[in-house]
Amino acid sequence: MSNVLSSDDDSDVTAWQAPDVESSDAKGSYGGMVTAGSLEKIQKEAYAEGFEAGKKDGYVAGEGLVKENIVHLNSIMELLNEPLQELDEELIKQLLDLTTIIAGQVIRRELRADPGQVIAVVRECIKSLPIAARKITIHLHPDDAMLVRGAFSIEENFEQSWQINEDPVLTRGGCRIEAENSKIDMTVEQQLNRVIASLLGGERERDDG
């Protein structure tokens, strides 16, 4: 049987029309056709917004991390600083003790080589006393007392003006002088303390005082 339509059947045939491609579903948010250019623009705007948001969040997170690290580092530095301070104080004390020992040995060696130095020490102390000083007592080691008596024996009224007190506790080379209203401490230990105090800016002398 043939499928060819005859001219008598054309009354039931209608003309074919192409569909409308400009429907609302095919339109973009800008009311027109979605083109490649508009898609690229939308993509760039979305990327820029996302980048700015990410950057802001990154700054906030980074700032918090930096602050946390600073606090952590400060705590570490404090922990490290305390032992260093203790070490410095201990080192200073050890150096001070060592300096005292060495200086004491040097002084004793000098006094053994020239025991007559105590005479100069006594003279210096006497000059430091007030002119009207009375009841002067010179405290000396027994060996030094003998040297001082021998050096000053030619001076008139020596025994009447000054009194020498032998004190075996005193270190040779030093003396302690007492008058009615005055006292002078020139013992070896005190002289050594003054030297060390001058080197340390007076700290040792204040501690001993």
What is the rounded distance in angstroms from the CA atom of residue 5 to the CA atom of residue 1? 12
Q: What is the pLDDT of residues 53-79, one digit of tens each?
A: 665 555 555 566 666 666 666 666 666
Q: Specify the 3-state DSSP secondary structure of 114.
A: coil
What is the rounded distance in angstroms from the CA atom of residue 58 to the CA atom of residue 64? 10
What is the rounded distance in angstroms from the CA atom of residue 164 to the CA atom of residue 123? 13
Range of the domain at 65: 39-113
Q: Do the domain assignments include residue 3?
A: no
Q: Over range 27-46, report the average pLDDT.
A: 58
Structure tokens at 36: 């490649």
Domain count, the chain: 2
Cβ atoms within 10 Å, residue 178: 18
Q: Do the domain assignments include residue 21?
A: no
Q: Do the domain assignments include residue 12?
A: no
Contact between residue 106 and residue 113 where contact means Cβ atoms under 8 Å apart: no
- Is 138 in the same domain as 165? yes
What is the rounded distance in angstroms from the CA atom of residue 38 to the CA atom of residue 183? 105
- Is 64 in the same domain as 140? no
pTM of the complete model: 0.48
- Is 119 in the same domain as 204? yes
**Dihedral sign from CA coordinates of 159, 162, 165, 171:** negative
Q: Over range 34-45, report the average pLDDT.
A: 63
